[in-house]
A and B are shown apart, each in its own frame.
Chain A
């Protein structure tokens, strides 16, 4: 049978196949150094997760980036030396996998010849994209990734508008340690095995140790596994706090599992995920009392001049456009665009950017110190958090009456934290 199969593949077809392979190969090694054709708009590459496990988060960043680009274009574009240049976002789907993120970035740079790149939703994909932008020397800002691993690698061309998770995730633990009584004594931590979630879990642990809360269980589990056994094991320790390091989906599933197992700690803590509308919709009243962390809310009173004047104005325009309240990742993604816009204005670079202008753009980003609706954007230029935004302060949040309110730490509170959490049937 097999010989029959081979003999059927005649020479003509073989030749065709060889030609096909050769032409495909030549496509992938297209020239990269050639100058981009003249144009009067900025080509902005966006690599993020539009399908796969992280599609929800990817679309969160997309809304943030779209908000920036659409607002800029409504004003006629970025004003540089008296002339306005529009921006065009070119999306590439990383399918929620790091390897695809690298390929997508390479394609945007070599084939689309984008001027700069707005980065992915997740830290894992960002860690795969950063070496590519480094290789081709293309400036890249992520409006979402939070893993400290990115900044420890000290990529020259990669920046981020959200401070690392190792700082942010400490806020709710600090609030619980200092602003409620009686002070919680023990904590069980459950994290997912990815670069963001693992560090969220680690930040919970560091903060707990710093504030004298005993860590009774610390467990990292793979994404997509059944979380019931891990939650059972945490429950067996009877901790005061149950902290979850994960993205939105795993957080929903773990809290569902906790309810089913009648696991009733005095506080639930999460970091990213609890700020999204899907978390609240998915859990309904079970989202109530959950603590979380953010670096931005619409209630902050920043005064800015670029695109949006206040967090409130941004939130209103965002809601009018997308029908949901923005969370901090959406705001940070918009701020990533603003950072590029301001740096471009400072160096007076016009599209398309050549390599010297791209390097100048990186230098300008390093010096950038601006006030936006999202708060100060100022990238660190040394230390462990190299090129991540050093200007922001993390805030502890809690669901109270179906709304997210700021509960700490300390003076940042707009409402008192509700503690302890009542049993499941009395929420």
Chain B
């Protein structure tokens, strides 16, 4: 029973981390129809930024979360015009062009990080590292709980922003019908740049949490790119609220298969569910994607 509860907690917390990465990715896909292959690279850059800031400025990496958010917000805003150029104009398959462009971007970032920062495996320590809370018989690692809370809060804040703010309305309008939104006076270019910037900012911030939990190295991104893809398929492509149940399902699946079946079958189980979803519910678990 104790192990069962612990497995449940572990699974939910893994899900919480996946939410953090999935939300921005899903939004980026939903609004701009851009599959950003570099999502894991933003995680890696965020983690490295935290590492270097701690190295040179000291103090707790969590203090730098807002700085990292705005830094990657700015970087995303500056990069978006390039992506826009790649996917617009007289291209025959914009989605594919976006994929190719961001794939190239991912390779560049990864290679650049390896060259600039070397091959060492880095770690950052926060005041929450290694701490934990007791929840009945289960142990809840504090840092993972922070990640979980961050993921859920960020998603809720995002939802509220989309629902109530003017830009949020524009974003939703754009997601529904880009041409119509343009006709009604939405500056789709600016809105897209803003969405992309928010996505890179959020993902960069997630990198700090992930870097503190695991380890930081140039090749760490790919794993998170895979997770992001998975969760977006499960959630329903472009349906942001679907990310929450999808991420929890993914986390619980990993956790329970590892403990009660065998660690060897974790990825098998995960991909089996992915294929099954694509076959049976191609629009996602809740059937709300497209």
Instruction: List the interface of chain A (C-beta within 8 A of B).
Output: 1-2, 4-5, 50-53, 55-56, 58-59, 96, 190, 193, 219-222, 224-226, 228-230, 232-233, 235-236, 248-249, 252-253, 256-257, 259-262, 278, 281-284, 286, 424
Give the residue of B123, B139, B259 whose beta carbon is less than 8 angstroms from that of A233: B259
Give the residue of B2, B143, B218, B267 whose beta carbon is less than 8 angstroms from that of A55: B218
Known contacts being A221-B266, A232-B259, is A283 close to B2, with CB within 8 Å?
no
Query: Residue B102 at the A interface, CB < 8 A?
Result: no
Query: Residue B14 at the A interface, CB < 8 A?
Result: yes
Count B-side interface residues using an 8 Å CB cutoff. 46
Q: How far is the CB of A319 from chain B (nearest CB, A)?
A: 16
Known contacts being A222-B264, A232-B6, is A55 close to B217, with CB within 8 Å?
yes
6 contacts between A and B (CB under 8 A): A51-B218, A233-B7, A249-B217, A260-B139, A286-B130, A424-B130
Instruction: List the interface of chain B (C-beta within 8 A of A).
Output: 2-3, 6-7, 10-11, 13-14, 17, 92, 110-111, 114, 118-123, 125, 129-132, 139, 141-144, 213-215, 217-219, 223, 254-256, 258-259, 262-264, 266-267
Total A-B pairs in contact (CB under 8 Å)?
A: 125
Q: How far is the CB of A247 from chain B (nearest CB, A)?
A: 10
Which residue of the partner chain B has the closest CB to A62?
B119
Which residue of the partner chain A has the closest CB to B125?
A284
Q: How far is the CB of B65 from chain A (nearest CB, A)?
A: 20
Q: How far is the CB of A308 from chain B (nearest CB, A)?
A: 25
Task: Identify which of B3, B215, B255 gathers the most chain A CB atoms within 10 Å of its CB.
Answer: B215
Q: How far is the CB of B218 from chain A (nearest CB, A)?
A: 7
Per the bound structure, the CA–CA distance linking A278 and B51 in Å amounts to: 14
Which residue of the partner chain A has the closest CB to B120?
A278
Q: How far is the CB of B18 from chain A (nearest CB, A)?
A: 9
Inter-chain contact B223/A232, CB cutoff 8 Å: no
Per the bound structure, the CA–CA distance linking A43 and B14 in Å amounts to: 49
Inter-chain contact A225/B144, CB cutoff 8 Å: no
Which residue of the partner chain A has the closest CB to B264?
A220
Residues of B within 8 A of A259 (CB): 130
Inter-chain contact A233/B121, CB cutoff 8 Å: no
Give the residue of A228, A233, A248 whose beta carbon is less than 8 angstroms from that of B3: A233
Residues of B within 8 A of A52 (CB): 219
Give the residue of B118, B139, B258, B262 whose beta carbon is less than 8 angstroms from that of A261: B139
Per the bound structure, the CA–CA distance linking A278 and B3 in Å amounts to: 32
Give the residue of A96, A221, A224, A236 whose beta carbon is less than 8 angstroms from that of B2: A236
